[in-house]
Chain A
Amino acid sequence: MEKGKLGALLEQPPRSVSCNGYALEEKPQQQPPPPPPAAPSRALERPRYSQGTSARCLDSWREERTRSEEDNEMNLPSLAAAYTTILRSLGEDPERQGLLRTPWRAATAMQFFTKGYQETISDVLNDAIFDEDHDEMVIVKDIDMFSLCEHHLVPFVGKVHIGYLPNKQVLGLSKLARIVEIYSRRLQVQERLTKQIAVAITEALQPTGVGVVIEATHMCMVMRGVQKMNSKTVTSTMLGVFREDAKTREEFLTLIRS
Chain B
Amino acid sequence: MTTEVGSEPEVKKEPEKSSEEAQAEQQQQLAEQPAEPSESEPSAAAEPQPTPTDSTKPDNTDQQENAEAEPSSPPPSSGQKKEKGISRFLPPWLKRQKSHSQVEPKESSSPTDTPNQTLTEKQEEEEKEEEEAEAAEEQVGKAPEEAEKRQEEAGPKEEGEAVSPVVEQPAETKEVKAEVKEEVKAEEVQAENNSVGSVETQPAKEEKEGTSAEKKGEKGGEEVQESSVLSPLKLGKKMKIVVCHVTLLDGTQFPCEVEKRAKGQYLFFKVCEHLNLLEKDYFGLSFKDNADQRCWLDPTKEIKRQIRNSQWQFAFNVKFYPPDPSQLTEDITRYLLCLQLRQDVSSGRLPCSFVTHALLGSYTLQAELGDYDPEEQRLDSIADFQFAPSQTKELEEKVVELHKSHRGMTPAQADVQFLENAKKLSMYGVDLHHAKDSEGVDIMLGVCANGLLIYKDRLRINRFAWPKILKISYKRSNFYIKIRPGEAEQFESTVGFKLPNHRAAKRVWKVCVEHHTFFRLTNPEQPTKSKFLTLGSKFRYSGRTQAQTRQASTLIDRPAPYFERTSSKRISRSLDGAPVISVSDHGHMLDSARTPGSGENGHDPALELSSDSKSKLRVQGENIYVRHSNLMLEDLDKTQEDVLKHQASISELKRSFMEAAPEPRPSQWEKRLTGSPATGLRLQAQGSAEDKLNSEINGQPEVIEVVEETVVIEEVVKAAKPKSSAPEVSVTVASSATEEVPEVKEEEEKSASSDSESEEEAEFHPQSPSDSAHHIQEEPEEEQEQSQKAPPTNAEPQQDAEPETTDKVEAVVNQQKEEDEKTPGEETVVAPEDAPNGHHVQDGEEALTSLGAVAEEEEELEPCVVNGDASHAETERVPQVICCSEPPVVKTEMVTISDTFAAQKTEIATKEVPIVHTETKTITYEAAQLDGTGDGEPGVLMTAQTITSESLCTTTTTHITKTLKGGLSETRIEKRIVITGDSDIDHDQALAQAIKEAKEQHPDMSVTRVVVHKETELAEDDD
The yes or no verdict on A and B being binding partners is no
Which residues does A use to contact B, with CB under 8 Å?
none
